[in-house]
Structure formats: C-alpha cells, structure tokens
Structure 1
Amino acid sequence: MPSLFRLKPAQLRSNTPGKLSDGGGLYFITSKSGRKSWAYIYTSPITGKRREMGLGSYPAVPIQQAREMAAKWRAIKEEGKDPVAQRNREQLEAQEHSLTLRYVLEQAFEARKSALKGEGVNGRWWSALNTHVLPKIGNKPIEEVSPADLIKVLKPIWHSKQEVAKKAMQRLKIGFAHALDMGLDVRLDTTERAQRLLGKQISKAQPFPSMPLSDLPAYYRKLEELGTVQARALQLVILTARRSGEIRRMRLSDIVDDVWNVPPEDMKGRVGQHQSPQRVPLSKEALRVIELTKPHARNGYLFPRQAKHARERNPFLQENAMSDLMKAHETGYVPHGFRATFRTWAAEMSLPYDAAEIQQGHEVRKKVERSYNQADLLEQRRVIMQNWADVVTEEAGSNVISLHLNASHIN
C-alpha cells in the first residue's frame, strides 16, 4: 500500500523535535528532550474525536514491531471499535484473570467472608493490606512474591505499628495458603520466613485505660445531665458492661421486656462462634435510659447515625461517637475501659466468674462443653446487673460493706 511505510532509517536517527508519519496513522514522535516514541493517531469511530494511542518508546520498540501494532489497531478501528477503549478492556481483563497477589487475596477473602462479622463489609479485613501492601506489590504474580518483598513493605511498620503489621501478615498467610490450594507454585512458609527476618516484635500492648469505680458515679451523673444520644449510649455501655459496638447497633426489636437479645452478627468474633442471640439482662436504670432514648430512634435503631454523618453507609451511631465524647470531657479514659471497671468490681465482690464473663460476651467454656452446657445464667446475671446499676447510680451507697451485702444475695 503506497500510503504505508514512509519512514526511512535516517529519519529515525534524527533528533529534530516533531511528528513523522509512517502512514496509516502510525507516527514517530521526537520530543524536545530527545525522547523518541511511537503513537497510533486516529479518529474514534465511536465519538468522532481524534485520539492518540502510545505504542512504546524507540528503540525498545523497533519500527517493524510498531508497524505490526498499528496494523492490529487499524483492524480494530475498521470493526467499529475504539482502539484505546478496546486496549483498556483487554488490560483490565488480563489483570482480573492474572494470578497476582491482589487477585489471590480477593479469592481468599471471598471464600472466607461468610464467617467474618458483617461479611467483612466494613473493610477491616482489607485495611492493612490496602494501606501498606497492595499499592506496592499487589499486581505482582503471587508465585513471584518473595520474603524479601514482604519485608520491604512491612519493615517500615513492623515495630511502629505492630498490630497493623500483624494483621497484614495474617492476611498474607491466608492468601498464600489459598494459592497453594489453587495449585499455584508458592511456598507456604513465605510469610514465616519474612516474619523471622523482620525479627521479634516487642509487645507494646497496653490495657484500655479504665475509670476507677470511685469516679464512676460522678461521671455517670454528668452523662445523665448531658442527655445527648452519645451520652445515653455511653450510659448503656456502663450499665450493661457490653462492647460499645453492640450498643451502637442496638435495635428496638431486639429488646423484649427486660432482656436485650444481642444478634450473633453484632458480637465480637466470627459469626460461627455464636449460633443464637445472647441474652443480656437490663436493670431498671438501663430500661429507664432506653425509654429516654426511644424518641431519638430511627429506622429501628435506638442510636441512629447523627445527621452530619447521615450519608455514611451504616445507619447506626458512628464508631468514634462515644470515645470522642470522653475525649471532649478530658477523662483520660475510653468506653471499653468501663468493661474493666465492671470486671474488677465483680472480682472484688467475689461474684460468680462464669456469670460475669457471660455478661461481657466472653466464652467461658470450650466448644465441646458449650454444646452440652448451654446455660447462660440469666437469672443470676439479672441480680448482678441490678446491683451494678445500684453501685453506678449510688442507689446502694458506695461503701464496701453494702456491696458485700448485695453480693450475698447472689452467692
């Protein structure tokens, strides 16, 4: 074809900036900096607009290869398709079906998400990976990922952000195990080798700062006076000794008389560990707080998401609402610490261990024993939580003698 293959070897050696046509939409481009490259320039059959598709740099891509590439995309254009859009689709399909680290981790997640809380929709399974691992090595074939690769991405946070690094390593271990199950050529000990080379982490874990029992009644009165949705939620965290996440998700339909039935999916841990709702007895004070809060309920949730956060995904109170309130009060404590305050009080009062643990949503028996002994000690816990509410509100006084007298009704 006379209009094709116009360029001569001497023209490729020239450093004069500009575009030289080889015919058929193929151009040889020399930039002002002297960089040389190929491009296929055409009019899109879809939009009618002029488009430029890069075909690589010269001499890495020789003229014959550039001509073959241009011929391919001319044929695509003659079919009525836009070459750039077609190439983007092909690259996306190749990436989706390539066995990269990212792809295998996605497959591993899909296989396990049914056992995760809320099927992992809140993103916590992915957060450490998305922040520290996948942006750097996510597109690398998992069969080529080495301990050195893992060390490179995790070393900056291995000691400074230990929990995040641990979570990332745990997810990676799951990914490599899944890759092995897929029949890929990976070493299952890749993560263990990387972990040994990164070195032992020195534990910096600190218990949640908990408010002393002597300060609790005064703080509870402060929350009562405040009377906001966040304050009411924090009151129920104190009165029930449950996790703040469970309180935030509290539904009116889960409250029957003086019992709150906490759904399995709202409890900490995997859904498979809890087959049925857990019964939580509500003291008279807890029921009073719930009644005061009901006018604010929305979409079935006792503590709905606040107006300024209404566009966010979850319909219930935002995660940091209660901790932000305590920060504003400059207490130096966190909501989770009230669980420790309750547990310390229960231990000092020699209250039944199993009852106190069950109240906080802890497993107190091994799996086999739980299948036979399913007692949840509701009546015993009902007395304990009423006594606890009396202590919090100072209905029973605050001296040790009266607390022991209350405990005597339980033992």
Structure 2
Amino acid sequence: MVKLTATTVKSRHDPGMYADDACRGLYLCVGTGGAKSWILRTTVYGKRREIGLGSVRDVSLAEARDEAQRLRKIARAGGDPITKRSRETITFAQATQRVHAAHVNTWKNRKHTETWLSTIENHVYPSLGTRPIETIGTADILAALQPIWTAKHETAKRLKQRLAIIFDWAKTAGHYHNENPVNGITRALPIVKATDNHMEAMEWADLPAFMADLRKREGVSARCLEFIILTASRSGEARGARWEEFNLKEKVWTVPGNRMKRGVPHRVPLAAPVIRLIEGQRGLDPDYLFPSPSRDKDGKGRPQSDMVFKALYERMGRSGFTTHGFRSTFRDWCSESAQVDRDVAEAALHHTTGNQTERAYARSDLFDRRRKLMQRWAEYALLEAVQRAETKLRRIKRRQS
C-alpha cells in the first residue's frame, strides 16, 4: 500500500486494484483495457460493499479522497452511503460547468474553448439548464436538438457530442443512473445529406497575375497575404508569426506546436523572395512580423484580424476565393503542374499521410525536398511579376539608349 499521487495514478497501467495509503478504503482500479476509476471499499450494514466514485478522467485524486471520506462517515453513522449518494442531485447546468472546467485546460484551440460552452448555453440551458440532470431523458435531448438539426446541422452535431460527454461524466460520477440519453438518438432525427464545404480557391493558373497585382499594394495586410501564399501556411499561423520563430540565416520558420492545428511544431523552408519580404517588415513591431495597427490594452502589439483580407480583396476588386483556399491552389499546382510527390506536398501543408503504422515509421518532415519545392512555388507564383519587371527594365534601357 502506498500513498497515491497524481504521478503514480497516471503511471499505473497494469490491471489491478491499488490502495491509497492516505485514504482508507480508497482504491485506484485499472481495468484490462486500461480504463481507470475510483472504488471505495467500506462496510454498509455489516456487509462489505464497493462503491464506484467515477472515472479518473473526470474525478481527481483529491475529489475521490473527499468523496470517500464523506461516504465512510455516513457508513460509520449507520447510514447507507449508496442510497444517500443516489439521492444527491445536481442540475444540468452544474454538470456542464464541471465537465467544462475539467477539460478546458486540455483544449488548445481558442475558438473551440469559447464555443464549447456557449453552444450549450444557447440551445440547451433555456429548457434544461435548471433541471436536475437525473430527470432528463432522451425525449428532452431530442427536443433540444430538433430545432437546429437541419437548419444548423454542424452546430447540432457538435452539440450532440458535447451532450454525450456531459451525461457520460454524470453517469460515472454517480449523478445519473440510466443509459446515456444521447445514445441512439440519431435514429430519431432526420437524415441530413452531407455536402462538400471546401473553401473557394483560385485556379493555380491565375495565381501569377494575382500576385503581380498584390505586390503593387502597400500595407501590412498585403505583405501578410503574400507571405501566406508563398509559404502555403494557414492565415492564423502567418498573422501570429513572431520574430523569434525565424532563423533567417538558416532560412527557416519554425511554428511552435501551440500555434499549429495539429499541435505539432512545423518547420517551413523560406524561399529567397520570402526572405526579402520578411526583411522588409523590420521595424514595425518588436514581436509580430505582421502587426495590427491597433495595440492591446497594455500598449503592446497584437496580430492582425482575419478580416483584413476581406477588405484587401474589396480594394483589389477580387472575389470568388478565400484566403484559406490558397492552400488548395498550392496543392493543385503540386499535383497538376509541378508533379510533386504526394508525401512532399502534404508535408508542406503539415498534413499527415498514411495509416497510423505508416506514420509511426515515417517520421521525417522531408525538409530538404520541401525547400526545393517552396523555391519552385515562389518562382512560379511571382513569374508574371518578374516578367513585368523585366519588360519594364528593357523599356527603360531602350529609352536611355
């Protein structure tokens, strides 16, 4: 018997019951499939009983100890902790808040963190927020989802997933004693045909002319868009680019994992035109490569808003594509014109390829091959701009001669 700690709880993988020396009767139960839960062994009315206290994922060690001590106190006083516990109820809103608090630090996507709770507050709280969670059934969940199932299908699907998580937690924590009411509910809802929702993209053949027009534009947003296109990066990665992420001597931009969609750092080789673009941004801000003209409340720089590109397209008189769509433009060019190997093109976009086993062995990011690819891409994208500049130079020389 040892005193359990958060570290030992995390490190236990062999199936079995592990007693906690700091709390008599409390055990960490590790199942054959690796699932971990808390069990309290105590005596109720002269009989040995085991009481589940919830999953380790949802109930911390400290919470399990507090609950175990509370239930043992009830048993010592001659009461039935199982019956007493089953009568305790919390509202749906309280359960939601507890689940949100338990998971919020594990989410890296800021938008997901903000919308996870607001979606439930908007569509479920009005009818079910104050209801004891134990009283909520499948019909209640159906009534909450039906109004938005077809009109806002993507939102409804995410909401359904979040509700399932809340009721799973409530069941393992002892606040809900029936089957998860979300299970099987899709069969009662209408089928919504999936539609492709790809971002509109510019044809790769039209890109050089667009880049020639873009390079005539002044301003941070124009340079940021040019950078996005030449590096095939996502808007948020480029807008949030910091000087500390760049090694111009080695010609590489290393985006940290906390700014990447997959949470994995990404090395981006920088072609010669991109290096010149970066050098032109010096002096605007000590932190951000493409700073917003407005400062934060402390007077420090901050990234541009994603809305700056919409305004830029309007000034250019351009439409029919999105900023994110330039990644598709790059990918189509790789396949249809440059005939680049699929793995290299996908690595440039920081996409994974192959199944789990293949990814486990293919750990190279193909950086050297990507460096050549990005130089070719920059030369193609700026082709018309270079040709126009050369034509202009020839005209000047003819006039001078």
Q: Deviations over 1:117-144 (max 9, x none)?
A: 1566851333422332234422322222
2:256 corresponding residue in structure 1: 263
The one of 93, 102, 126 equivalent to 1:111 is 102
CA contact (8 A) 1:233 1:322 kept: no
1:233 corresponding residue in structure 2: 224
Question: Is 2:236 the partner of 1:245?
Answer: yes
CA contact (8 A) 1:142 1:186 kept: no
Q: How many residues align?
A: 296
The one of 307, 325, 334 equivalent to 1:320 is 307
Mapping for residues 71-90 of structure 1, pairs under 5 Å: none
Which amino acid in structure 2 is aligned with residue 322 of structure 1?
F
2:279 corresponding residue in structure 1: 291
Gaps of 5+ in 1: 1-96, 399-411
1:344 corresponding residue in structure 2: 332
The one of 377, 383, 401 equivalent to 2:372 is 383
Distance 1:296 1:136, change over 3 A: farther
Which amino acid in structure 2 is aligned with residue 379 of structure 1?
D
Distance 1:342 1:102, change over 3 A: same
1:261 deviates by 0.6
Question: Is 2:290 the partner of 1:303?
Answer: yes
CA distance in 2, matches of 1:186, 1:192: 14
Mapping for residues 129-168 of structure 1, pairs under 5 Å: 129-168=120-159
Distance 1:211 1:200, change over 3 A: same
Bigger-Rg structure (1/2): 1
CA distance in 2, matches of 1:315, 1:181: 43
Distance 1:268 1:284, change over 3 A: same
Q: Deviations over 1:94-153 (max 9, x none)?
A: xxx962222222222233233321566851333422332234422322222222222323
The one of 314, 321, 336 equivalent to 1:333 is 321
1:368 deviates by 4.7
CA distance in 2, matches of 1:312, 1:154: 44
Secondary structure at 1:260 match in 2: strand
Secondary structure at 1:304 match in 2: coil
CA distance in 1, matches of 2:309, 2:109: 21
Distance 1:183 1:281, change over 3 A: same
Mapping for residues 2-151 of structure 1, pairs under 5 Å: 99-118=90-109, 123-151=114-142
Which amino acid in structure 1 is aligned with residue 260 of structure 2?
M
Secondary structure at 2:280 match in 1: helix
1:213 deviates by 1.4
CA distance in 2, matches of 1:312, 1:338: 33
Q: Pairwise CA RMSD of aligned residues?
A: 2.9
CA contact (8 A) 1:390 1:396 kept: no
TM-score normalised to structure 1 length: 0.65
CA contact (8 A) 2:202 2:321 kept: yes
The one of 145, 151, 170 equivalent to 1:179 is 170
Which amino acid in structure 2 is aligned with residue 198 of structure 1?
L
Secondary structure at 1:117 match in 2: coil
1:324 deviates by 4.4
CA contact (8 A) 2:221 2:309 kept: yes
TM-score normalised to structure 2 length: 0.66
The one of 357, 363, 374 equivalent to 2:363 is 374
1:181 deviates by 2.2
Which amino acid in structure 2 is aligned with residue 331 of structure 1?
S
Q: Percent identity?
A: 33
CA distance in 2, matches of 1:158, 1:121: 20
Q: Deviations over 1:280-306 (max 9, x none)?
A: 1111122222222233235x1212233
Q: Deviations over 1:149-204 (max 9, x none)?
A: 22323222211211111111121122122222212225454223333212222223
Distance 1:229 1:197, change over 3 A: same
1:396 deviates by 10
CA distance in 2, matches of 1:196, 1:213: 43
CA distance in 1, matches of 2:94, 2:266: 37
Q: Deviations over 1:257-286 (max 9, x none)?
A: 2111111111114x4xx3xx2111111122
Gaps of 5+ in 2: 1-87, 388-401
